[in-house]
């Protein structure tokens, strides 16, 4: 069976210590799907703290190991964009303004 080129994983509106582990597991599962690209849809997320960013970092590292690219879709100027910048995640992972833009690469 042919693997899809990319999968989009929708993120919750808030990511913090109460659900960061779930988010990490959800992303790790998507990385096992065989898709070449995993798009993390953060466009509906209005809060993501350092715990949430850590889950995203872990997913990115796991992707590097199995050859899957992790891309983030973040509304420019949103609170999440600020978090990513503060924790320098935007330097590590490619960030796009929408899931469509992320799919195009």
Partner 1 sequence: MPASSSGPVSSTASAPPESGQGSLPSNHVPELLAALLPSGLPVLPGAAFAAGYLAVGPDSNAGGDWFDAISLANGSVALTVGSALGHGAGAAAAMSQMRTLLTELLQAEPSLDAVVDRASAFAAAAPTLQGASMVLAVLDPGNGRLQYITCGSPPPLIVRRDGPAEHLASTGAGPLGSLGATPTPSTARLGEGDLALLYSSGLVDRPTGTIWHGMDELAHDAVHSVHSVAADAARDPRTDPADCLSHVVDDLLSRTGYHADVAVIAAQLLRQPIHPLRVQVQSEVENLRLVRDEFSTWLAAAGASSPDFEDLQLAVGEVLTNAFVHAYPPGEEGPIEFQAHLDPDGSVQCQITDHGIWKDPELAAESGGHGLMVASELTGTVRVSHPRAGGTVVTFRRALRRPPAMGSVSTPEHESTPTSEVPFRVTARGTATGGAAVGVQGRIDTTTEPEFSRRLLSACRGGTVSLTVDLADVSYLDRAGTWALHQLSQQLAVHQQALTLVVPPSGQAHPALHLAELAHQADPTADDAEPAHWDSSRRPGERW
Binding site for partner 1 (CB under 8 A): 14, 16-18, 47, 49-51, 53-54, 79, 82-83, 86-87
3-state secondary structure of 62: helix
CA distance 15 to 49: 7
Q: 17, exposed or middle or buried, with CB in 10 Å at 0-12, 13-18, 19+? A: exposed
Q: Which is nearer to partner 1, 26 or 50 (CB)?
A: 50
CB of 53 to partner 1, least distance (A): 8
- Minimum CB–partner distance for residue 19 and partner 1 (Å): 10
Q: Which is nearer to partner 1, 19 or 98 (CB)?
A: 19
Choice between 8 and 78, CB closer to partner 1: 78
10 Å CB burial of residue 19 (0-12, 13-18, 19+) is middle
Q: E-strand spans in 1-105?
A: 6-10, 14-15, 37-41, 47-48, 69-73, 94-96
Closer by beta carbon to partner 1, 85 or else 100: 85
């Amino acid at each position: 069976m042919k693997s899809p080129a990319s999968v989009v994983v929708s993120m919750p509106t808030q990511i913090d210590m109460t659900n960061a582990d779930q988010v990490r597991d959800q992303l790790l599962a998507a990385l096992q799907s065989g898709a070449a690209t995993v798009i993390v849809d953060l466009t509906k997320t209005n809060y993501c703290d350092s715990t949430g960013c850590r889950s995203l970092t872990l997913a990115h590292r796991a992707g590097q190991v199995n050859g899957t690219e992790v891309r983030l879709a973040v509304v420019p100027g949103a609170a999440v964009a600020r978090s990513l910048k503060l924790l320098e995640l935007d330097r590590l992972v490619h960030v796009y303004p929408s899931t469509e833009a992320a799919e195009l690469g």
